[in-house]
Amino acid sequence: MIILKLMAGEVNRVREYPQRNRMNMLYKTAPMAEAAMDGEEAAPSFEQKDLFEYKIYVLNTPADIQAYSEKQLSLFEANNIKVKKKYIYDIYKDDKKVNVSVEFQNSKNNNAGLPMPAGKVRVNTQNAADSSIEFIGEDKIEHTPENDTITLTLGKAFDIKVERILKNNQRITRKHWKETYEFNILNSKTEEITITIKEHILNYLKSEIETQQKYRKVNAGLIEFDISIPAKSNKTFAYTISYYE
From 81, 144, 142, 73, select the one nearest 115 (Cα to Cα). 144
Query: Across the chain, what does the average pLDDT equal?
Result: 83
Look at the pTM and tell me if it is higher than 0.75: no
Q: How many CB atoms lie within 10 A of CB 203?
A: 10
Q: For residues 187 and 107, what is the distance between their CA atoms, to the nearest angstrom?
A: 33
Q: Which domains does the chain have, with CATH numbers?
A: 5-59 (no CATH), 84-156 (no CATH), 160-244 (2.60.40.290)
147-206 pLDDT, tens digit each: 999 999 999 999 999 999 999 999 999 999 999 999 999 999 999 999 999 999 999 999
Average pLDDT over residues 38-52: 58
